[in-house]
Structure 1
């Protein structure tokens, strides 16, 4: 994944201090670079002598052309004084990318009563004009350059923009149809394309079987690397060397198909035809690929794959997701719940030094390929993109790991603020029993991203929408 590109378009208005605006252009640039985000910044240098957006000296068309040529993913319009609201709005409208509006807090008037910037006043003006142009935008509270609320808001905006850019270019590799008995996994492929531009690239289980067999017979370096990785990371004493090789070959085949088709995620029919054809479960292959930032969802869960890409993008792809069933309530904790799947959670999350590679414990054939064990707890985000009847929502909630009984498969017990409320919301829909977790607070970025995705409504259960908004203004959460 290429770095996110941010268009940096600092703006001023001619009636206020040009010198002070230039000073703040430099200070703000230095601040956002110091945050340490892995992004590329495209500025206005060379378009005029100041590198600032202001009327009569640089027009919207020149800025739009530069940002389009550079393929920016989002635009930041820091108001270094009052700013030029009409040009800001024209650029924002033409680009159609996420827009960040903010300006540094004004100092006290000078001794003679003159004011150098009137930045806050200009923010009011630009906000109104952006609305006139139907440009959605993110706003960070008028604050000083080094105030924590600015860094928080800027960082969250970049993460939200990363969600939007990956969502807008999303293609999912679908390996096989959904299991016939899983009506919950129905999705409307045409609707996903029409409403969101999400593409599905379907292949059959025969395709992946043939590709895996060719890789297994070929004994190439990629296969050898995957075999060595499995043997180094897992206790595989319960399965055969042949099983390890077939699982590794499947992992390599899935990755190649994803790369060849330009797919960001995979949804696979993990049972039961695959076991009949290949004699293995894909769970461990799913786990390894998810650790490699190609999330794989079970039971051909297309909406789950969409969720996975969004959630990992909200952390700037710095943490792996895990794909889980919401399974049973904790035997003692009324707000506790088991997050589980047969054996697909990323190895990097395991609490054991060498988790077990085992045979499946439920199905009659007991095929090998499940990666079992508990994963670490801590604070997590749980999310689910889902919809029906043409309406889509993004469920958002926070959880933390707790102690609970041993169970088979990949699992972690979690506690939430009010499980009966969660349960009611999930049952009444449009959700299902699948969720995506990540060990990070991805909720504010996902919430903010929704305003740039027409047709997707955020549905936070904890924190509430009001708490998220207050946090973005600087409150604790």
Structure 2
């Protein structure tokens, strides 16, 4: 299992004990998923694993997502359902992201970030490596947070989606849309991308006013129309198709 990890991502500078811990828990997760025929997962990656086991499992989650077995952070179950929906629409891996900082003074651009576990397909081969998570490391110690994958997604098509539960009304709801990954200068760490979305401020207002989580699923495709049709026509969900 260590060999599989090291052939998947550059591990220069990662301590051997951290790689061994990743390999061990990877065997356990794979065995559990195979026995129960599980095809998607949502893992408690913040911050129990670091505090109790001393490693990040982002690389393992990235490897699963790359194999079209999507894996979401922070036990975000409807987040991984959103990832899975985009994956089915495009037949390519999805990732879970934070809607993050606006970009400079451009109202239609923003940073997407996770610390991170995005599938390898989102990155150029020469910009994909394992590291540690400095945010978690600031309180738990960097040595307990090795295992993230980091790099930047290059320009190209971009779709986003979020499914959630409206618990008071007992219904499902969603939003979907398309944009573009762009290559403007950006300095940060982790798994990251800069995106351009038409009328982004309107989308963010909709997300906040309608109680959606800060997580969204993304995919390197233009698949929003497919999801809107599936969610509305076949599932009967209230679905906002941004800028349709």
* Matched residue, 1:427: 208
Query: Cα deviation per residue 1:167-194 (whole Å; 9 max; x = unaligned)?
Result: xxxxxxxxxxxxxxxxxxxxxxxxxxxx
Which segments of 5 or more consecutive residues in structure 1 lack a partner in the other structure? 1-222, 465-477
Q: Cα distance, 1:352 vs. partner?
A: 4.2
Judge conservation of contact 1:235–1:354 (CA < 8 Å) in 2. Answer: no
* RMSD between aligned residues: 1.5
TM-score, structure 2 normalization: 0.91
More strand by share: 2
How many pairs align? 235
Out of 177, 182, 186, the residue aligned to residue 397 of structure 1 is 177
Judge conservation of contact 1:387–1:430 (CA < 8 Å) in 2. Answer: no
Out of 293, 298, 302, the residue aligned to residue 73 of structure 2 is 298
Q: Cα distance, 1:376 vs. partner?
A: 2.5
In the alignment, does 2:55 pair up with 1:274?
A: no
* Matched residue, 2:196: 415
**Which SS does the other structure have where 2:17 is aligned?**
helix
Query: Cα deviation per residue 1:206-233 (whole Å; 9 max; x = unaligned)?
Result: xxxxxxxxxxxxxxxxx2xxx2232223
Q: Cα distance, 1:443 vs. partner?
A: 1.5
Residues 400 and 442 of structure 1, relative CA distance in 2, 3 Å threshold: same
**Which SS does the other structure have where 2:45 is aligned?**
coil
Query: Cα deviation per residue 1:114-143 (whole Å; 9 max; x = unaligned)?
Result: xxxxxxxxxxxxxxxxxxxxxxxxxxxxxx
The aligned runs of 1:54-133 (5 Å cut-off) are none
* Matched residue, 1:122: none
Query: Cα deviation per residue 1:261-285 (whole Å; 9 max; x = unaligned)?
Result: 2222101110222112211011111
Higher relative contact order (CA 8 A, sep 6+): 2
TM-score, structure 1 normalization: 0.48
Partners in 2 of 1:293 and 1:408 — Cα distance?
A: 25
* Matched residue, 2:122: 349
* Matched residue, 1:438: 219
* Matched residue, 1:248: 23
Which segments of 5 or more consecutive residues in structure 2 lack a partner in the other structure? none
